Amino acid sequence: MSEAVTNLTGGKNCTETSERRIQGMRTGKMDRFRKEYLGRGIVTASGFFIIALTLAIGVFLIVQGTGTFTKYHHSILEFLFSSEWAPVDSVAGDTGKVGCAIYIAGSLMTCGLALLMVTPFAVGAAVFMTEIAPKAGTKIFQPAIEMFVGIPSVVYGWIGLTVLVPFIRDTFHARMGGYSVLAASIVLAIMIFPTITTVAADSIRSIPQYYRKAAYGLGSTRWQVIYRIVLPAAKSGILTGIILGLARAFGEALAVAMVIGKTRAFPKNILSPTNNLTAAIAADMGNSASGGEQNMALWTMALLLFLISMLFIFIIHRIDAAGKKKEKA
């Protein structure tokens, strides 16, 4: 009798143990699904969503932006190189002039001048934060610089409008009250400074320490190590930061529109007012008839900015690929 009870109890224990094992296996599978497959699925879906969204934006801009050439039969040469801007704000099929050379020249001048002004300071700040004072740079200077990224562009534009424009007017006796290419370039330079500095600093930090130790072992000074070893090794990352800053400068609208003057004329010098692509789109898009010639021309300008952004991304990837190829060699 006792043996039967023992066998029965042992059988129940074995059954309970088996059930616990099965339940544990099921729980483990569920945990693995949540941690591994579910997370991977969400990340994969998010990646495909971003790709689909980018393609959708590109297709939409192509459809809208090519209407200037397909619907209103303007030529690409006229759009890019003519300075006559007088589109018809109507959907009746009437045609005017859609030359955007003034806006393109304004964008190139303001962004190019901003890049010339900010690059030495940004690279110098990155070198200071990483090579001269790394502890203070990591704890104090880099957080202070990164705070500038979060400042809204309207704040930069308002400071430029109330401080910078009067300063240029009183100092250089500029026409149009100080509204000029110079004012827009300075505002853009301040806005893209954190981007270039942060990317350049990260690139310099990624250089292995044995590069520096080997150079010091050969008797190099600190400046020689920075100039001849660190900066050449980090060149691809620094160039990437510069191009990212230039891409942001091309896409900025509100801050530039507040200080550039918005006159439809080629600038005679950096103290002259002009206009650019983003400011023209922001100012006129809301007041144009949907499907009209002016509306289509503005969408074509947006398509041009999109293509410029794609060009910058392509250049960044080429620089990154060239840097990796050089490291392997």
* Tokens read off for 265: 């004329």
- Residue predicted with more confidence, 90 or 260: 260
Query: Is the CB of residue 110 less than 8 Å from the CB of residue 256?
Result: yes
Maximum alpha-carbon separation in the chain: 114
Residues forming beta bridges with residue 261, ordered by sequence position? 274
pLDDT (0 to 100) of residue 194 = 93
Report pLDDT digits (tens) over 218-252. 888 889 999 999 999 999 899 999 999 999 899 88
Q: Is the pLDDT of residue 80 over 90?
A: yes
Give pLDDT tens digits for 84-107.
998 887 776 668 899 999 999 999
The neighbour count for residue 55, using CB atoms within 10 Å, is 10
Q: Check: CB of residue 241 under 8 Å from CB of residue 199.
A: yes
Give the residue among 257, 269, 252 at the shortest CA–CA distance from 113.
269
Angle at which helices 277-284 and 101-127 pack, to 10 degrees?
A: 120
Kindly report, residue by residue over 8-32, the tens digit of the pLDDT: 455 555 555 666 665 655 665 666 6
Give the pLDDT of residue 8.
Answer: 44
Give kind and range of the element (H or E) at residue 229.
none
User: So what's the pLDDT on residue 195?
Assistant: 92
Single out the residue of 212, 229, 250, 241 nearest to residue 320, CA to CA. Answer: 241
> What's the rounded Cα separation, in Å, for the pair 229 and 212?
7
Q: What is the pLDDT of residues 160-219, one digit of tens each?
A: 999 999 999 999 987 778 899 999 999 999 999 999 999 999 999 999 999 899 999 988
Cβ contact 199:149 at 8 Å: no
Closest CA to 102 of 85, 89, 116: 85
Tell me what the mean pLDDT of segment 66-82 comes to: 91
Q: How many CA atoms lie within 13 A of 207 on its CB side?
A: 26
Element (H, E) at 88: none
What pLDDT is attached to residue 22? Answer: 59
Span 147-160, mean pLDDT?
89
Name every residue whose Cβ is closer than 8 Å to that of residue 187 and which is 6 or more positions away in sequence.
156, 157, 160, 164, 255, 256, 259
Q: How confident is the model at residue 313 (pLDDT cuts 50, 70, 90)?
A: confident
Helix segments in the chain, DSSP class H:
2-32, 39-65, 67-70, 76-81, 101-127, 134-136, 142-147, 153-159, 165-172, 181-205, 209-217, 222-225, 231-233, 235-251, 254-259, 277-284, 293-328
pLDDT band at 5, cuts 50/70/90? very low
283 CB burial (10 A radius; 0-12, 13-18, 19+): middle
Per-residue pLDDT at 318 exceeds 90:
no
Q: Is-above-0.85 flag for pTM?
A: no
Please count the other Cβ atoms lying within 10 Å of the Cβ belonging to residue 33: 12
Would you state the pLDDT for residue 19? 61
